[in-house]
Amino acid sequence: MKIEEVIRTVNQMKADRIIANYAIGGAVGATFYLEPVSTLDVDIFIEVHAMAGSSIISLDPIFSYLREHGCKMEGEYIVISGWPVQFLPASGPLLEEALDNAVEVDVDGEPVRVLTAEYLAAIALQTGRAKDKARLLQFIEAHALDRTKFEELVKRHQLVDRWRDFQQQFLNEE
């Protein structure tokens, strides 16, 4: 199983106009800034628009394309090179902004778009599970965040109360 194959496949999807824009998020995205940690899937945020005359967003074109290229569905995941992948519509202001501000990184000659550390941290704060709080703490302890940019995101996306609670609980800050 190889993540680099996942990246090549997603880039090919973009070249074939199956997706317009994408960025890797979640634990794999965090790996670009932190130590590698165990994760079982790849979260890929995508720009998706509802079909004309409908409010429904369909990922069918993505799944059809990948099935034609030998990938198999497993529940809500599509398996690419052994990795379960979730394509997640970037819905909501924070995710849309995160996708727009994603950066391109070179991985052994293959470009890949990934969310920035500040957006990954803000999304973790917003999502709020125990593992998201652990990831946010990792970003802070590794000094991987631009705190000014992060705190601007916190203010802009109404996460101030959550951030204050997090600081009090884990950082002895206020």
What is the binding site for other proteins (CB under 8 A)? 1-4, 26, 28, 31-40, 43, 83, 88, 91-92, 94-95, 105, 107-108, 123, 126-127, 129-132, 142, 144, 157-159, 161-162
Least separation in angstroms between residue 65's CB and other proteins is 23
> 159: helix, coil or strand?
coil
20 or 105, CB closer to other proteins? 105
- Give the helix ranges, DSSP H, for the chain: 3-15, 26-31, 60-68, 93-100, 117-127, 130-141, 147-156, 160-166
Least separation in angstroms between residue 31's CB and other proteins is 5
DSSP annotation string for 94-130:
HHHHHHHT-EEEEETTEEEEE--HHHHHHHHHHH--H
Least separation in angstroms between residue 167's CB and other proteins is 15
Query: CA triplet 81, 135, 112: central angle to 5 degrees?
Result: 40
Least separation in angstroms between residue 128's CB and other proteins is 8
63 or 127, CB closer to other proteins? 127
16 or 103, CB closer to other proteins? 103
